[in-house]
Amino acid sequence: MASATVKLIDIAVNFTDGMFKGLYHGKQCHSADIPAVLARAWAAGVDRIIVTGGSLTESREALEIAETDGRLFCTVGVHPTRCGEFDESGDPERHFQALLALAKEGIEKGKVVAVGECGLDYDRLHFCPSDVQKKYFEKQFELAEAVKLPMFLHMRAAGEDFSEILSRNLYRFPGGVTHSFTGTAEERDKLLSFEKMFIGINGCSLKTNENLEVVRGIPAERMMVETDSPYCDIKNTHAGIQFVKSVWPSKKKEKYEPGSTVKGRNEPCLVRQVLEVVAGCKGISDVEGLSKTLYHNTCRLFFPHDLDASADAQLESGSGTSVQNS
């Protein structure tokens, strides 16, 4: 089911979502089960997980969840569809300062590794108009600059404005990942033209043959994998399904069993499937080698101290005459 030789980091898990508390559309179907979900993830070769924050409240909860396990980390930021919360708070600057204080607290605890999820989403303007999204996307670069963290970014149907805002703020943050990428080849190439930008791939990135073609054009050295669970699972109708090798037993939520995944609810162990589809569509037979590259990319951006420590250890032991620059 999963090989111990593959080591993965899932860069996007929405553990604050009700589904991980057993709540589906307001109905309690089973008890909260993050420990069981984590046990499956660790057994599948997942080494670390970044829990996504999408609002001030959610970022607080993400930090609380991250504190429950040494392998969990989180982001602090406001999702484009929820940027209205700055103005709704009655004092946008105070709201920003609260985010900044939370980020600093989380950094001190060794848990907050990125600012986000922030960006632009023009598919869902009914939640937040574009002018408000743009204003507070720009504002969150100030947050990244203040705490010197990379950015965890969201871009949906807004390629032009997103790239424009990004390009004028490049000096303010050390790097970033545009996660859950579903864009065109042109949008991909634009993101790749920003030298410190990575692209995050999940089930939503692998739905159609056109999607797979776009993914083929992302160099492995510029890619990360994620589930964005509980959403974005790889479905049987998706073009990518042909490359999936690892499967887990699943039960409907109404017939929940702790040892099985929930049908229709994505979870971190399934990041293994994303790896398999990326390898398959790119014609890479060395899945373990690909996983090492993706792991290195993720450490480079979110856990640079680990790479420094590992390089130092190699030099001390004399096992590495040359260490890849990060």
Over residues 273-309, the pLDDT tens digits come to 999 999 999 999 999 999 999 999 999 999 998 876 6
The predicted structure's pLDDT at residue 324: 37
Which three-class secondary structure state does DSSP give residue 91? coil
For residue 71, tell me if it sits in a domain.
yes
In angstroms, the CA 62 to CA 111 distance is 10
For residue 159, tell me if it sits in a domain.
yes
Q: Is the pLDDT of residue 73 over 70?
A: yes
The predicted structure's pLDDT at residue 311: 56
The predicted structure's pLDDT at residue 317: 58
CA dihedral sign of residues 293, 151, 188, 212: positive
Q: Is the pLDDT of residue 57 over 80?
A: yes
User: Which residue has tokens 């805002």?
Assistant: 165
Mean pLDDT of 57-62: 98
| Band (325; pLDDT cuts 50, 70, 90) | very low
| Band (150; pLDDT cuts 50, 70, 90) | very high
For residue 58, tell me if it sits in a domain.
yes
The predicted structure's pLDDT at residue 136: 98
The predicted structure's pLDDT at residue 322: 35
Mean pLDDT of 214-230: 98
Q: How many domains does the chain have?
A: 1
8-25 residue pLDDT tens? 999 999 999 999 999 999
For residue 1, tell me if it sits in a domain.
no
Mean pLDDT of 132-140: 97
For residue 324, tell me if it sits in a domain.
no
Mean pLDDT of 143-156: 97
Which three-class secondary structure state does DSSP give residue 229? strand
Percent with pLDDT over 70 in the chain: 93
The predicted structure's pLDDT at residue 314: 56
Asked which of 93-107, 194-208, 298-312 is least confident by mean pLDDT, the reply is 298-312
Q: Residue-wise over 35-60: b if at least 16 C-beta within 10 A, else e?
A: ebbbebbeebbbbbbbbbbbbbebbb
The predicted structure's pLDDT at residue 250: 95
180 CA to centre of own chain: 7
For residue 251, tell me if it sits in a domain.
yes
Q: Enter the pTM of the model.
A: 0.93
The predicted structure's pLDDT at residue 318: 52
Mean pLDDT of 94-120: 98
For residue 326, tell me if it sits in a domain.
no
The predicted structure's pLDDT at residue 316: 63
C-alpha separations of 279 from 116, 151, 185, 187, 188 in Å: 28, 26, 19, 22, 18
Mean pLDDT of 93-116: 98
The CATH number assigned to the domain holding 263 equals: 3.20.20.140
Tell whether omega for the bond before 117 is within 30 degrees of 0, i.e. cis.
yes
126 marked as binding residue: no
The predicted structure's pLDDT at residue 159: 87
What is the domain range of residue 272? Answer: 8-318
Report which secondary-structure segment, H or E, holds 115: strand 112-121
Q: Is the pLDDT of residue 153 over 90?
A: yes
The predicted structure's pLDDT at residue 221: 97
Mean pLDDT of the chain: 93
154-193 residue pLDDT tens? 999 998 999 999 999 999 999 999 999 999 999 999 999 9
The predicted structure's pLDDT at residue 312: 59
In angstroms, the CA 8 to CA 298 distance is 9
Which three-class secondary structure state does DSSP give residue 292? helix
25 marked as binding residue: no
The predicted structure's pLDDT at residue 305: 85
The predicted structure's pLDDT at residue 313: 61
C-alpha separations of 139 from 122, 136, 164 in Å: 18, 5, 14
228 marked as binding residue: yes
In angstroms, the CA 276 to CA 242 distance is 10
For residue 29, tell me if it sits in a domain.
yes
Asked which of 195-199, 273-277, 299-303, 312-316 is least confident by mean pLDDT, the reply is 312-316
